[in-house]
A = this chain, B = another copy of it.
Amino acid sequence: MDNSKIPQATAKRLPLYYRFLNNLNHQGKKRVSSKELSDAVKVDSATIRRDFSYFGALGKKGYGYNVEYLLGFFRKTLDQDELTNVALIGVGNLGTAFLHYNFMKNNNTRIMMAFDADPNKTGTNSDGVPIYHIDDLEEKMGDVRVAILTVPSNAAQEITNRLVEFGIDGILNFTPARITVPSDVRVHHIDLAIELQALVYFLKHYPLIEDE
Contact = CB atoms under 8 A, between A and B. Distances in A.
Interface of A: 3-4, 6, 8, 11-12, 14-16, 19-20, 39-42, 78-79, 84, 86, 92-94, 96-98, 100-101, 103, 105, 107-109, 145-146, 148, 169-170, 172, 176, 178, 180, 182-190, 192-212
Given A184-B208, A186-B203, 6 more contacts: A8-B206, A16-B194, A84-B200, A103-B193, A183-B211, A184-B211
A201 B15 CA distance: 9
B203 A170 contact: yes
B11 A205 contact: yes
B201 A11 contact: yes
A84 B200 CA distance: 7
A177 B147 CA distance: 24
B172 A195 contact: yes
Nearest to A94: B97
A78 B211 CA distance: 27
A192 B15 contact: no
